[in-house]
Amino acid sequence: MRILITGGSGFIGQLLCQRLHDQGHTLLVVSRSPDKTERLLPAGSDVRAKVLDFTGTRVDAMVNLAGESIAGKRWSEAQKKKLVESRLAITGDLVTLCGKLDTPPRALVSGSAMGYYGAQGQRPVDEDTPPHDEFNHRLCAGWEATAREAEAYGVRVALLRTGLVLDRNGGALKQMLPPFKMGLGGRIGDGRQYMPWIHRLDMVRIIEFLLDQEVLNGPFNCSAPNPVTNDEFVHTLARHLHRPAMIPMPATALKIALGEMSRLLLTGAAMQPRRLEEAGFTFHYPTLDEALSDILGR
């Protein structure tokens, strides 16, 4: 297939592009820095600066992973506006492209996040769980609604409600490893908030699965079937590193330092990948122990 990818130079996107290339697909990649991105991606990738630069090109499917980092800066009103616009603008361009192509792509697999659900406490959360209304939810809901506008062109739309993606060279784990290796890790707040997580390889395999399955649409929880609380996560990580996890981060300190953005760390959802498992997807790394053994054992 000829697959158009936004966010192809990112943490998930680079592994996805390499695997799709190895499977014989042609990569059409959108990047604000085409020359730099070309050096990161497999040879032969067609990298252009804007989605609409691919007008007139055959596109069989699209994967939308682009968006401003949600944890990059404190959430001022200007930053929240930037977070929304960075997702809606490029997703809207993909929808516009669908209308410009002679033959619209068969599928759009588009990013979202566990933040769609907002704070959910201790209860299990599947794709039918009502969300808690807060900024995280509104951000993801708008992102998803924009992507679903492609359905008007006959495009099958699958939505990735993604948990914390784990691997050594990016994401949350890259930031956590240095202090934990020094024995400075510990729970955040009371540690009872859930941290839905997924191994990066399983995340990429889900995208491949949703590209291939011609009848799957709507939202999918992209997290391993065994979510853990923050307390369980930090103690499991510390055990794999043979270090203590004795230095907690008080909730009050986080709220002072990060403001509203502290909710990313202090609240969560016990996400369950119900729809993926019902569709027959099998996780290579269903437990945190298995995932960390692979990641830290390389």
pLDDT tens digit string along 132-190? Answer: 999 999 999 999 999 999 999 999 999 999 999 999 989 889 989 999 999 999 999 99
Q: Which amino acid is at 36?
A: K
Phi and psi, residue 172, nearest 5° = -65, -35
DSSP H or E run through 47:
strand 46-48
**Alpha-carbon dihedral sign for residues 117, 120, 220, 42:** positive
Cβ pair 180, 238 in contact under 8 A:
yes
Q: Is residue 73 predicted with pLDDT exceeding 90?
A: no
CA atoms within a 13 Å half-sphere pointing along the CA-CB vector of 59: 30
Contact 237, 179 (CB under 8 A): no
Name the band, by pLDDT with cuts 50, 70 and 90, for residue 26: very high
pLDDT at 15 over 90: yes
Instruction: Give the model's pLDDT for residue 261.
Output: 85
> Please, are residues 274 and 212 in contact by the beta-carbon 8 Å criterion?
no
Alpha helices for 55-193 (secondary structure H)? 77-100, 135-148, 171-181
pLDDT for residue 256 is more than 90: no
CA distances from 105 to 145, 157, 254 (A): 18, 10, 44
Looking at the predicted structure, is the pLDDT value of residue 262 above 90?
no
In this predicted structure, the answer to whether residue 68 has a pLDDT above a threshold of 90 is no
**pLDDT given at position 193:** 97
Q: Is residue 289 within 8 Å of 228, Cβ to Cβ? A: no
- Backbone phi, psi, residue 236, to 5°: -70, -45
Mean pLDDT over each residue of the chain, to the nearest integer: 95
Does residue 17 have a pLDDT over 90? yes
Nearest to 234 by CA among 199, 294, 193: 193
Quick check: helix, strand or coil at residue 45? Answer: coil
The answer to whether residue 254 scores a pLDDT higher than 90 is: no
As a whole number of angstroms, the longest Cα–Cα distance in the chain is 60
pLDDT on residue 93: 98
The reported pTM is 0.96
Q: What pLDDT sits at residue 258?
A: 87
- Contact in structure between 2 and 56 (CB atoms under 8 Å): no
Q: Are 12 and 160 in contact (CB under 8 A)?
A: no
Which of 11-15, 64-68, 72-76, 243-247 is the least confident region?
A: 72-76
Cβ atoms < 10 Å from Cβ of 92: 16
Structure confidence at residue 29 (pLDDT): 98
202-212 residue pLDDT tens: 999 999 999 99
| Of 93 and 171, more confident | 93
C-alpha distances out from residue 259 to 113, 114, 256, Å: 20, 20, 6
**151: how many CB neighbours lie within 10 A of its CB?**
14
> CA–CA distance from 79 to each of 57, 70, 109, 265 (Å)?
34, 9, 26, 18
User: Where does the pLDDT of residue 110 fall: very low under 50, low under 70, confident under 90, or very high at 90 and above?
Assistant: very high
At residue 283, the pLDDT reads 98
Q: Residues 16-40: what's their mean pLDDT? A: 95
pLDDT of residue 126: 98
Domains of the chain in sequence order:
2-296 (3.40.50.720)
* Statement: residue 70 has pLDDT above 90: no
